[in-house]
Amino acid sequence: MPFAKRSGASSQIDEKLRTKRQQIIEEERKRVLRESLMLLYDKLMEKYELIHPPNDETETEGMQPVSREEVETFVTEYANTKPLGF
C-alpha cells in the first residue's frame, strides 16, 4: 500500500521550528546524561575514593583526590561526544 506524500513546499518557519525543537531535545538529552553520571559519581563516592594516578612528581606527596569540579568537567565533555539517541 503506497503512502500519500504531502504536496507543496514545506514552509521555512516549520523548518526553523523543527531545528529549534531538535536543539532543545539534544540539550535536554545532554543535561539528563550529565545529571545521571553525576548521581552515579555521588553514589560511588559513598564507598570509594577517586584519586589521580601516581606519577614521579606526586609519589612523595601521597594520594591526590579528584575534585568534583574535575569530574563535572569530564562528564560534560563526555556527554557532548555522545551521539543522538544515546
C-alpha cell at position 68: 568534583
CA 85 to the chain's CA centroid: 12
- At 1 the pLDDT is 55
- At 35 the pLDDT is 92
Q: Is the pTM of this model over 0.75?
A: no
Query: In the chain, which residues have pLDDT < 70?
Result: 1-12, 56-61, 84-86
C-alpha cell at position 36: 545521571
- At 8 the pLDDT is 52
- At 43 the pLDDT is 92
